[in-house]
Amino acid sequence: MKNIILGAAIAVTTLAACNSGSDKTTDAKQSDMHSDTSMAMHQQTTDTTTSKTAAAAGVFPAREIIAGYLQLKNALAKDNGQDAAAAGNAMVATLAKIDMKTIPEQQMKSYMEVADDLKEHAEHIGANAGKIEHQREHFIMMSKDMTDLVKTFGNGGQTLYKDFCPMANDGKGAIWLSEVEEIKNPYLGSKMPDCGTVKETIK
């Protein structure tokens, strides 16, 4: 009888221990799941915060500056001083909102070498809607600065073509950047729209 009672007691104790172990295992699993969930939520929060911080800090608007320049180029190619002026003013606005903190230190020197000139040329083009030849004079110098800017900050994710017209700039020749391989001369417009050649493809 004692053996039966003792056996029953051992069985109950063993069963209780098993259940306790099972509970501990379940608790451990739940704890691990909670930990994983917390880590995932923390990571997501960190990623979101980083993304918001990057957005708040801003990114150098190379694509936007290039887009304004190309709009200006196309307006001059069509002999449209009004549209050229609008594009020039848009470039001024884009350049004015650049956060210098977004420019990496190694690129700062290159940017500072062209920043003031770019702004000045854009302002002159914007203020001279009725003087297209004056706009074209500034566009010659702007194109040199834009070429340097693209070398420093990239092409904004699009293929660009560096074109050259030997007849522009009183026969001294001048370059410009284009988004199309076909020549559309911004210096001579409708007089000689296809004067020039592609000198370089920037990918």
Exposure string of 11-22, with b = 16+ CB inside 10 Å and e = fewer, is eeeeeeeeeeee
Can you list the positions of beta strands (E) in the chain?
160-165, 174-178, 197-202
At 197 the three-state DSSP class reads strand
Q: For residues 129 and 123, give the distance between their C-alpha atoms in angstroms, rounded to a whole number.
A: 11
Q: Which of 167, 186, 164 is nearest to 175 (CA)?
A: 164
Amino acid letter, residue 93: A
What's the pLDDT at 42?
A: 40
CB atoms within 10 A of CB 146: 27
Whether residue 20 is predicted with pLDDT greater than 90 in this model: the reply is no
Residue 111 tokens, joined: 């940017």
Answer yes or no: are the C-beta atoms of 197 and 182 closer than 8 Å. Answer: no
Whether residue 6 is predicted with pLDDT greater than 70 in this model: the reply is no
Whether residue 7 is predicted with pLDDT greater than 70 in this model: the reply is no
pLDDT in tens, 168-200: 999 999 999 999 999 999 999 999 999 999 999
What's the pLDDT at 3?
A: 43
pTM: 0.71
Q: For residues 114 and 147, give the distance between their C-alpha atoms in angstroms, rounded to a whole number.
A: 10
What percentage of residues in the chain have a pLDDT greater than 90?
Answer: 68
Q: For residues 132 and 152, give the distance between their C-alpha atoms in angstroms, rounded to a whole number.
A: 29
What's the pLDDT at 58?
A: 60
| Average confidence (pLDDT) over 95-118 | 93
Domain coordinates in residue numbering, the chain: 62-202
| Average confidence (pLDDT) over 114-130 | 97
pLDDT in tens, 38-92: 433 443 333 333 333 233 346 899 999 999 999 999 999 999 999 999 999 999 9
Whether residue 21 is predicted with pLDDT greater than 50 in this model: the reply is no
| Average confidence (pLDDT) over 158-174 | 97
Amino acid letter, residue 152: T
